[in-house]
Amino acid sequence: MTAQVSSQAVHGADAAANDVLTQVRNHIGHLTLNRPAGLNALTLEMVRHLHQQLDAWAKDPEVHAVVLRGAGEKAFCAGGDIRSLYDSFKSGDTLHETFFVEEYALDLAIHHYRKPVLALMDGYVLGGGMGLVQGADLRVVTERSRLAMPEVGIGYFPDVGGSYFLSRIPGELGIYLGVSGVQVRAADALYCGLADWYLDSAKLAELDQGLDQLVWHDTPLKDLQGLLAKMAVQQLPNAPLDALRPAIDHFFALPDVPSIVEQLRSVTVADSHDWALATADLLESRSPLAMAVTLEMLRRGRQLPLEHCFALELHLDRQWFERGDLIEGVRALLIDKDKAPRWNPPTVQALDARHVASFFDGFEQSGS
């Protein structure tokens, strides 16, 4: 999920068919998220449509590979349609429970998909959008790409497999991205291993032509890699996170969020001073509880296989609407728009380690 709100969802099978466009060309199944006005935010109907189509293509010998993309130039997918989940909870319905179960099942299916998946990550790739692409075999970013797991800004935690893919980024970079919710661009996405290839957005049409004309020789994955190798690159110079890596690895290895903020504020070294203060300010604008649970979740996720990471996230989900900060975050940022969330606890310093730990109680029995 993410902090992105979409336009009002249209429900039903017909809407899903319009919201997810499907086409097969040259043995490639193309799936296009088609809600550009809502930055292609996911509804439950879209999740179901995507999963059903992927299942059908997995069994179809005429389909060799799948391409995922978003309509428009602004976003691949800016996450889940969070407003509909808020409304569900407030009205006593169960959409918010069903959505996460089915969204995670779709994301897991992409991780295990038997045919290569090429994800075109043009524009915003946030929250649930990251869940769709991080299991893909070939992840392409452009100069317009903005990747993030920004959930802590709305009182939530980075889910959709974030406990797996963020926790496996080298050093403490994934902890930093999850606890802060910052966005990264193409160079950092490649540096962190959140993307595999860079291609100018102006060449996306040329890539489509190449896909339409691709002659299948070897395995489908190698054929696709060969096409990308002619058009794209796998590294970009001057990744900002490369320069920040020593500082990030130091601060985000500290035991807890209060320690991280305290030490960021005490930095006097000129090279890191501005970044450290800006990062401390950013963290203090986020939900303290969401950051603390995220830190614990990501550190646990390092030791868990993929399926157990999704199980851990569902374990947290089942408590979060009642006990977490999400409902207040949505109220403050998307409903009333006063931008003054009353987080509980209100400050990083007021965090109670036992309260944070309580969200993980019982997981060993139920989730692993």
DSSP 233: B
Alpha-carbon torsion angle 138, 139, 143, 147, nearest 10: -170
Q: Are strands 65-70 and 117-121 parallel, antiparallel or unpaired?
A: parallel
Residues 35/50, Cβ–Cβ less than 8 Å:
no
Cα 335 to Cα 318: distance, rounded to the nearest angstrom: 23
For the domain bounded by 13-231, which CATH number is listed? 3.90.226.10
Q: Give the count of beta carbons closer than 10 Å to the beta carbon of residue 317.
A: 21
Q: What share of the chain is helix, strand, coil (3-state, %, to 5)?
A: 55, 10, 35
End-to-end CA distance of the chain: 23
Cα→Cα distances 58→55, 111, 138, 164, 283, Å = 5, 13, 17, 24, 43
Residues 157/167, Cβ–Cβ less than 8 Å:
no
Instruction: Tell me the whole-structure pTM to 2 decimals.
Output: 0.94
Out of 3.40.50.970, 3.40.50.12500, 3.90.226.10, 3.90.1110.10, select the CATH number for domain 242-367: 3.90.226.10
Amino acid at 272: S
Q: What is the pLDDT along the chain (368 residues), one digit of tens a residue?
A: 664 444 344 444 555 669 999 999 999 999 999 999 999 999 999 999 999 999 999 999 999 999 999 999 999 999 998 888 899 999 999 888 899 999 999 999 999 999 999 999 999 999 999 999 999 999 999 999 999 999 999 999 999 999 999 999 999 999 999 999 999 999 999 999 999 999 999 999 999 999 999 999 989 999 999 999 999 999 999 999 999 999 999 999 999 999 999 999 999 877 788 999 999 999 999 999 999 999 999 999 999 999 999 999 999 999 999 999 999 999 999 999 999 999 999 999 999 999 999 999 999 754 44
Q: Are strands 65-70 and 28-33 parallel, antiparallel or unpaired?
A: parallel
Q: Residues of CATH 3.90.226.10 domain(s) within the chain? A: 13-231, 242-367
Residues 163/150, Cβ–Cβ less than 8 Å:
no
Which residues are catalytic, by number? 80, 128, 151, 159
